Amino acid sequence: MMKKLLLLAFFLSFAVGATANAADKTIVLDGSTTVGPIAKSFATYFTRKFGIRVTVSESGSGNGAKSLINHTCSIATLSRPMKAEELAAAKKIGVNPVAHVIALDGLAMVVHPGNPVRSLTKAQISSIYRGTVTNWQEVGGPNARIVVIQRESNSGTEDSFKELVVGKGVQITRNAETQASNGAVKNRVSTTPGAIGFLGLGFVDRSVKSVAVNGIAPTIPSVKNGTYPVTRPLYFYTDGAPSGPVKQFIELSKTADGRRMISELGFVNQ
């Protein structure tokens, strides 16, 4: 018995030592599910090239900001700028968030592939999400009820969408369904004939159909030159000016390899 306990204690101390050692060499990222794919492919690349471990969690922009404030990550990934309250909370405990724009992203409005609607105006989308338009017929589609899909309150995508399309301070209809990630929204839209949802441009594939907003299709050029109306920057946030491996990691977005990874994932370089 005693022997077993000693053995256990030995292993535990070893494990603690191991994590403590790893902490110096690990970059921890937390935050947006939209920025997640970029962060992950950067992480794989970075680990392979420099031998430094990078862990990426995707828990939403809000959680990312919280993690940075609580010192549980070295880089917070956000799909929206930090809010005034978050900055105030950070300042209060001596954290100084610094924003780095790493890429641009268009928010694509997506519908079921069988939906004939090709284009919506911003005002139409806004009425759909406010609940004043409930049938596809009213926006030039078939006679079918609209299933409105939004993201949870934790999501930077949801915040951007509200700000860019619905308008600040406007309530989204309480009939709107809420999904927890870009992937879940895509899944629901691709399997529900009457659904409409919004996705980061990088998540759009053939399983859903993206519609043009104000007549402009969400494409990489239209996002880049700013003509697509629902465009937003994506951020890495650090506590103070980055240095060492963290700085190297962030500057990856400016290197040729980094830019290639960003565009391969469907996002847009600045």
Partner 1 sequence: MAEESAGGQNRTNAFVVSARKRFIQRVTKTVGEGTLLAIASFVAIVVIFIFYFVAKDAIPFFQIRGFQEFFTTTGWYPADDPAKFGAFAIIYGSLMVTLGSALIAVPMGVAAAICLSDILPFSIRQYAKPVIEMLAAIPSVAFGFFALVVLAPLLQEKGGLLMMWAWWLIAAPFMTLMIIIFADLLTTNIADPKRRKQLNLLLTALFGLIGVALLYRVGSVLSSIQILTGTNALNVSIILSFMALPTIVSVSEDALQAVGRDLREGSYALGATRAETIMKTILPAASSGILAAVILGIMRALGETMVVWMASGNSAHIPEPFFNYFEAVRTLTATIAGDMGEADQVTGSARFHVLFAMGLLLLVISFICNLVSERIVVRQRKILSGQ
Question: Which residues here bind partner 1, judged by CB under 8 A?
Answer: 59-60, 62-63, 66, 69, 83, 85-86, 88-89, 92, 145, 147, 152-154, 168-169, 171, 174-180, 184, 187-188, 191-195
Contact 189, 196 (CB under 8 A): yes
Task: State the minimum distance, in angstroms, from the CB of residue 51 to partner 1.
Answer: 32
Task: State the minimum distance, in angstroms, from the CB of residue 177 to partner 1.
Answer: 4
In the chain, the largest separation of any two C-alpha atoms, in whole Å, equals: 77
Of 62 and 200, which has the nearer Cβ to partner 1? 62
Of 52 and 184, which has the nearer Cβ to partner 1? 184
Contact 206, 161 (CB under 8 A): no
Of 31 and 218, which has the nearer Cβ to partner 1? 31
Other C-beta atoms lying within 10 Å of the C-beta of residue 121: 14
Task: State the minimum distance, in angstroms, from the CB of residue 220 to partner 1.
Answer: 30
Task: State the minimum distance, in angstroms, from the CB of residue 200 to partner 1.
Answer: 18
Task: State the minimum distance, in angstroms, from the CB of residue 77 to partner 1.
Answer: 14
Rounded CA-CA distance 197/181 in Å is: 11
Distance of CA 211 to the CA centre of its chain: 20
Of 197 and 242, which has the nearer Cβ to partner 1? 197
Of 51 and 94, which has the nearer Cβ to partner 1? 94
Contact 203, 187 (CB under 8 A): no
The DSSP code for 163 is I
- Dihedral angle, C-alpha 57, 63, 66, 70, nearest 10 °: -40
